[in-house]
């Protein structure tokens, strides 16, 4: 394991307020997004869409890395250039989603899940590294309500996240560790705080047990936020205060950066909340850069504009670049300034 390379890559991914584009939607997930704008999901349409994003002029000034799905890592652009090479030539770092999705946690019927994909992962990492990937991502999900998240769910997913992270570092890839406490539900921000704290404590305990190099990883968590159906929605200032209070309790200072997921927040909400978090982080001297790893919150305006018509590419790229610029400002606490 090359400690220096891992550390340098992790730091590069959060340098200068830059963040990550999560373009790692599975075939099923991207089909739903394409359906919403009337686009048929085919290998070519998926290729054209993602090629449009990574060819956006100056995108590398604001986006440090791109998380890809297995299909996309292997695809070539319309002119035959591998998409990985396009990402690198734009000054961004290619990464790969490696989990195989959340499956029902035994016993069936609990309503909770555990993420699978560890079988054969060492061999997949070797292949992905040879194809140019320099970091990886594994997502675990936890719901709130009716006794959830349970201790069983918390610890099963923490163990899987840690084993994945250790294997990634063995292969020379920076692991992005993504424990997501879902926004789904009508719970208040206090419930999110409690669940997120329990999850983060378990994750870092397991990372230590698997001897994961903290300096060579990134954390991709949820913000501490009200449930999507909650009657009262916490203001950005409260989201910032509770998020930082939770993470200062649970995330070691050795971690080089935190890249928040948007978790179903709208484009503007995700940007405003990230900005509020960084404004407060600058005041209190938080020990890590706090940036973004957004999917829909970066892509939605571009996808609606593109709508499957490559003649719309310039306008779609402008919409995408505007979102990337806004979130880089938010990662520096300068969006609302």
8 A C-beta contact, residue 8 and residue 276: no
Which phi and psi angles does 78 have, rounded to 5°? -60, -30
Q: Name the active-site residue from 25, 51, 112, 178.
A: 178
Alpha carbons 271 and 294: distance in angstroms, whole number = 10
**What are 39's two structure tokens?**
């686009």
241 is a catalytic site residue? no
Q: Where are the beta strands (DSSP E) in the chain?
A: 19-23, 63-68, 93-97, 102-104, 113-115, 135-142, 174-181, 218-219, 258-260, 290-294
Contact predicate 216/234, CB 8 Å: no
| The three-state (H, E, C) secondary structure of 258-279, written as one string | EEECCCCCCHHHHHHHHHHHHH
Using CA atoms, how far residue 13 sits from 174, 237, 266, in Å, is 10, 26, 24
Q: Give the whole-angstrom CA distance, residue 172 versus residue 165.
A: 11
DSSP string covering 165-178: HHHHHHTT-EEEEE
> Is the Cβ–Cβ distance between 214 and 177 less than 8 Å?
no
Catalytic-role residue among 18, 137, 220, 329: 220
* Active-site annotation holds for 220: yes
In this structure, what token pair is assigned to residue 264? 């179903």
Which positions are annotated as active-site residues?
Answer: 178, 220
């Amino acid at each position: 394991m090359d400690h220096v390379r891992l550390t340098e890559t992790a730091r590069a991914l959060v340098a200068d307020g830059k963040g990550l584009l999560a373009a790692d939607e599975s075939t099923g997930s991207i089909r739903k997004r394409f359906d919403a704008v009337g686009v048929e999901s085919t290998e070519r349409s998926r290729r054209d869409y993602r090629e449009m994003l990574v060819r956006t002029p100056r995108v590398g000034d604001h986006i440090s890395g791109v998380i890809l799905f297995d299909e996309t890592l292997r695809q070539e652009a319309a002119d035959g250039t591998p998409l990985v090479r396009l990402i690198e030539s734009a000054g961004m770092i290619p990464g790969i989603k490696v989990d195989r999705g959340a499956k029902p946690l035994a016993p069936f019927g609990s309503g909770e899940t555990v993420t699978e994909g560890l079988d054969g992962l060492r061999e997949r990492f070797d292949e992905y590294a040879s194809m140019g990937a320099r970091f990886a991502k594994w997502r675990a999900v936890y719901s709130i309500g009716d006794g959830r998240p349970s201790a069983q769910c918390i610890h099963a997913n923490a163990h899987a996240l840690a084993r994945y992270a250790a294997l990634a570092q063995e292969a020379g890839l920076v692991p992005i560790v993504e424990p997501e406490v879902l926004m789904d539900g009508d719970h208040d921000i206090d419930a999110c705080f409690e669940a997120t704290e329990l999850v983060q404590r378990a994750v870092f305990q397991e990372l230590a047990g698997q001897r994961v190099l903290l300096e060579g990883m990134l954390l991709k968590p949820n913000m501490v936020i009200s449930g999507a159906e909650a009657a009262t929605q916490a203001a950005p200032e409260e989201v910032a205060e509770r998020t930082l209070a939770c993470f200062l309790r649970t995330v070691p200072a050795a971690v080089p950066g935190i890249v928040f997921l948007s978790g179903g927040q709208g484009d503007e909400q995700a940007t405003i909340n990230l900005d509020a978090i960084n404004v407060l982080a600058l005041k209190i001297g938080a020990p890590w850069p706090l940036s973004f790893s957004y999917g829909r919150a970066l892509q939605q305006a571009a996808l609606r504009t593109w709508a499957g018509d490559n003649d719309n590419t310039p306008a779609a790229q402008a919409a995408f670049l505007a979102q990337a610029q806004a979130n880089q400002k938010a990662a520096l606490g300068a969006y609302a300034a």
